[in-house]
Structure 1
Amino acid sequence: MKTLLIFTLTLLCSGCLEDTAVTPINTINPDSVEYYGVAAANNAFAFDMYSKLVQLESREKNNILFSPYSVSAAMAICYEGTEGTAKEQISNVFYFPANNTVFKVRLKETNDKVYSGSDGYELENANAIWVQEEYPVKEEYIFNVKNYYRSEVTNLDFVEKPDESRDAINEWVEDKTDRKIKDIVPKGSITDDTRLILTNAIYFNGKWEHEFDKKMTSKKTFYPTKREEVSVDMMYISSNFNYSENLKAKIIELPYKGNDLSMYIVLPKGNNITEFENNFTVNEYTELKYNMESLGDVETSIPKFKFETKTELSDSLIEMGVADAFDLKLANFSGISEIRY
């Protein structure tokens, strides 16, 4: 039984990706390219994924960090080569359109915009497919992943040189991410049965358009849960930000230099994060964001933070409905190769 391995990791990618007004419910069968919104679909998946991670983690005080765009980018490359029920499941969970042409063209337009480059920040995409030497991958698939999905395709010898292959992949990812992401392919993951490995990593390094003054950082109260409060180092700034609020939440946009990318921070009214997580929807987020405007200086306090998360996303994706793609007996990757895994 041949295997396909997927490794996806995001160092940091907080971005503002705008679509025309597209609701997630319309993303599966759009009539044409202009009616499919990559950001709308990704936001819908992000909310679904977050809810599932909260359920599976059964967390008390742990933070959850993941990049929905990174996960979607990796699965998009799989989607290009998937057929049958596995393809339908990926489409349903990730809100990918059933029409491959619509999806490819729209995704390429979005990626070209996101990765167009700027003097204000570094943003690097590290998509790659690593193929066992002489394993017959369809030329059409290779062309499509290079042209539409910004992915490189490289041959390695997994069978005779598994350790050297692993080192080559890890070294390539390290180079793409300024040496920040190491060992994306863990020891022992490459076996004699491995035929394809898909890696995805996003590296982002940017500075705030309105930088926080270190001298303004001070100890303040932070509320991790409704009944808990702690004293933390809190950054402070007062500047002209886009802002909005409703009965449930507040939202603020913190742009990075260049104003091409932004971080959106949503703060629940009150301190009941559990209730907020269970009830805040993607449509409510979209409406809250749509109503943002600049009303003058907004006083903003944010805890200094550093997050690291490691989790097996396959469990969450299977729970969400992407089952066949992770089942060697049911997975149909005939769009990649005629040889059955």
Structure 2
Amino acid sequence: MRSKVLGLVPFLMMALACEPSGSQPRDPSSSTSTGPSDSGAPSSDPMASNSPTTPTAPVPPPAADAVAKLAGGTNAFGFDLYQRLRKTPGNLVMSPASMTTALSMTWGGAKGETAAQMKKVLHLEGTPDDVMKTSGQLAQSLQDPSRPITFRIANQLFGEKAYTFEQPFMDKTKAAYGAPLELMDFKNAPEPARVHINAWVEKQTEKRIKDLIPGGAIKPDTRLVLVNAIYFLGDWATPFEKERTRPAAFFTTAKDKKDVPMMNAIGSYKGVAKDGLKVLELPYKGDSMSMLFVLPDKVDGLDAVEKSLDAKKLAELGKALTSQQSSVSLPKFEVAPPSIALAGELQGLGMQDAFSRTKADFTGIANPSKIEERLFISEVFHKAFVKVDEKGTEAAAATAVIMAERGAAAPIEPAFVFKADHPFLFFIRDNASGLILFMGRVADPSKA
């Protein structure tokens, strides 16, 4: 069986509190303004950038304790945010790893209470330099070319050509994340800039994430857009036979059902049944990554599972998995919800000052002499695509931060039966670190 998980795009937008008429950038000293372009067009071709550069040889991961802290914090933040997003009915998908990367880059330039709130909400431990270093090294190791999967991470900064940025911040993001700065003309051509950035995202996600930034989101007061894109393609270690896929009932509620293509297999898989739910792990080739499925026993039991499940409990369930002869039935599905605005959700989690025109302190990114020209986050958008079929999984994700001024049947009876014929959760994770790359909900496999 191959599942395809495609395209997750969190998008973070930071905008200027207000921009006085005729304002000019201050003269750079310790800061940098990287040469405006007279044409008003971007200073370079974003398609030429695939950052950080995919390693050509295996890169060792960071120290185990540092990875554990980063993965644990990322997963905890993912579940915190999911608790707020799950109230929206229907299918859902998000990437804790992509969102944490983009927001961590932004946190690297935050100061004071703004930085403290972001650190708490993101469950980060250590200094910004420590987190950025660990995150960058982990990203490189996850892209190990020797693995029989495809996993790519790209980061890019798009900055207003007439605005001055702090050189230390630019240096840190480039060193840790491989995120170069491309100059844009947000002031005079915001819509062409939006189209340009969306094209970069579409390129990095193999055309799976389109129109990440919605119309009108880039404005003349936009000063910086930070983008993270993730793409994953992996085949199951044991593919499911297409001949065994057949129509079967899927209960969207206790009373409502519809026929969907159901994939079927019998073999040795890791699973566990406890506390009113079942968990199944399907590994990808090479066993470096896997997909977990969490299925409540009751057809209408997903809400209760979502309420109680967190990063710690998921980790405990993962440790309880045991290999056993199993019968697996899993629907083919595609999840492609529209972009979700996250500013309100992040503020609800406690990240308030970052979105305040009067309180935000991102002077580590840009420190203009006029307070009204300083940065704050105006919005965060998130978009994803997931597709599961018989062969494996394909996944893509992107995060943008916009800143502006202010097989054959077994001969024995299966001991474990996993029949996903009603709503369930899924998680794609790196097995070594436990980092959750993608997570989501399938409420109706017949709908995107």
**TM class by shorter-chain length?**
0.7 to 0.9
Structure 2 equivalent of residue 53 of structure 1: 85
Q: State the distance in 1 between where 2:160 and 2:133 align.
A: 29
1:226 Cα offset (Å): 4.3
1:41 and 2:55 matched: no
1:185 and 2:213 matched: yes
Structure 2 equivalent of residue 298 of structure 1: 326
> Which letter maps to 1:99?
T
List runs of 5+ in structure 1 lacking aligned partners.
5-17, 22-32
Structure 2 equivalent of residue 223 of structure 1: 251
| 1:38–1:81 distance in 2 versus 1, CA, 3 Å | same
Q: State the distance in 2 between where 1:175 and 1:219 align.
A: 35
| 1:19–1:106 distance in 2 versus 1, CA, 3 Å | closer
TM-score (normalised: structure 1): 0.83
Kept in 2: contact 1:208–1:256 (CA 8 A):
yes
Kept in 1: contact 2:67–2:138 (CA 8 A):
no
1:172 Cα offset (Å): 1.8
1:336 Cα offset (Å): 0.5
Structure 2 equivalent of residue 72 of structure 1: 100
Q: State the distance in 2 between where 1:211 and 1:193 align.
A: 50
| 1:34–1:173 distance in 2 versus 1, CA, 3 Å | closer
Q: Which has the higher strand share?
A: 2
Which secondary structure does the structure 1 equivalent of 2:86 belong to?
helix
1:71 Cα offset (Å): 1.2
Which secondary structure does the structure 1 equivalent of 2:92 belong to?
coil
Q: State the distance in 1 between where 2:242 and 2:329 align.
A: 12
1:52 Cα offset (Å): 0.8
TM-score (normalised: structure 2): 0.64
Structure 1 equivalent of residue 156 of structure 2: 128
1:210 and 2:238 matched: yes
Q: State the distance in 2 between where 1:312 and 1:63 align.
A: 16
| Among 263, 267, 274, the residue aligned to 2:303 | 274
Kept in 1: contact 2:108–2:129 (CA 8 A):
no
Structure 2 equivalent of residue 13 of structure 1: none
Kept in 1: contact 2:247–2:262 (CA 8 A):
yes
1:119 Cα offset (Å): 5.7
List runs of 5+ in structure 2 lacking aligned partners.
1-14, 19-60, 369-373, 376-448
Kept in 1: contact 2:70–2:125 (CA 8 A):
no
Q: How does 1:109-258 map to 2 (within 5 A)?
A: 109-118=137-146, 120-258=148-286
Q: State the distance in 1 between where 2:332 and 2:69 align.
A: 33
Q: State the distance in 2 between where 1:279 and 1:19 align.
A: 32
CA deviation string 1:290-337 (max 9, x = no partner): 122323x32111111000112112221111111211222221111101
Structure 2 equivalent of residue 317 of structure 1: 346
Q: What is the number of residues matched between the two proteins?
A: 312
Which secondary structure does the structure 1 equivalent of 2:107 belong to?
helix
1:2 and 2:16 matched: yes
1:118 Cα offset (Å): 4.6
Structure 1 equivalent of residue 120 of structure 2: 92
Structure 2 equivalent of residue 9 of structure 1: none
Q: State the distance in 1 between where 2:257 and 2:188 align.
A: 56
| 1:264–1:20 distance in 2 versus 1, CA, 3 Å | farther
| 1:161–1:118 distance in 2 versus 1, CA, 3 Å | farther
Deviates more, 1:201-210 or 1:64-73: 201-210
CA deviation string 1:203-259 (max 9, x = no partner): 222222211211111222323334544332211122322222322322222122232
Q: State the distance in 2 between where 1:183 and 1:232 align.
A: 29
Report sequence identity in percent. Answer: 29
Q: State the distance in 2 between where 1:328 and 1:196 align.
A: 16
Which secondary structure does the structure 2 equivalent of 1:104 belong to?
helix
Structure 2 equivalent of residue 30 of structure 1: none
1:96 Cα offset (Å): 0.9
> Which letter maps to 1:317?
L
Q: State the distance in 2 between where 1:72 and 1:64 align.
A: 18
Kept in 2: contact 1:36–1:102 (CA 8 A):
no
Which secondary structure does the structure 2 equivalent of 1:108 belong to?
helix
1:150 Cα offset (Å): 3.6
